[in-house]
A and B are shown apart, each in its own frame.
Chain A
């Protein structure tokens, strides 16, 4: 079945460092890909998404590109801030109605 594998955490970086969180997926069709974020004490929020190959999703300085050839959707940010500290989930869904399949999450901590 469909699945998502993402980089294990925790990841600790200094402010203004470059961030990459790796994510690869397995799917039978052509899924949509997502990054969700969970800030401390808050619910899951959609950070960005891409619905077809070579699409780039971006939001709040974060980017991820849908790479069909490597079945990957790595999350990147050029300069992280303390406020980016959260748990990040890579996820996929197939079709227009489907459930979302999540990875196990990567906890990111940014030190000042």
Chain B
């Protein structure tokens, strides 16, 4: 399977703990996006990378959140001092840079985080 993969698929943690998620994009894609989806809502943009550079961050990304893409391949999203409000599905997507509108983003299956 050469799609976007995410690990773990599920994570249960206690409030105050740190968690880290990993995303492996489609291999030739140079753009990588993180989104958060809460129950009954559409995904909300968090941040995106072009190669290893983080080019945009949403105001949803508080200082407890940090994302990296050290070699322009896989990415990690870390949440420090988790809160119950962080419980959500975290989605990763990747795309190939094109100078055209409407480039498709390919989504992974997501990591479901539950903070107890």
Contact = CB atoms under 8 A, between A and B. Distances in A.
Do A and B assemble together? yes
Contacts of A102: 42-44
A93 B102 CA distance: 7
Given A44-B91, A49-B102, A49-B104, A105 B42 contact: yes
Interface string B41-62: 1111100101000011010000
B99 interface: yes
A102 B105 CA distance: 13
Given A105-B40, A105-B42, A32 B102 contact: yes
Interface stretch (B12-20, B63-71, B76-84, B107-115): B107-115
Interface in B23-47: 31, 33, 35, 40-45
A100 B95 CA distance: 12
Main secondary structure of the interface of B (DSSP, over half): loop
Interface string B91-108: 101000111111111111
A51 B43 contact: no
Nearest to A93: B102
Given A42-B109, A43-B107, A43-B109, A104 B102 contact: no
A44 B56 CA distance: 22
Contacts of B41: 104-105
A45 B107 contact: yes
A34 interface: yes
B36 to A, nearest CB: 11
A54 to B, nearest CB: 15
B51 to A, nearest CB: 12
Interface string A16-60: 000000000000000010101000001111100111100000000
B104 A97 contact: no
Given A51-B102, A97-B97, 12 more contacts: A36-B107, A43-B3, A43-B107, A43-B108, A50-B102, A97-B50, A99-B45, A100-B33, A100-B105, A101-B45, A104-B41, A104-B42
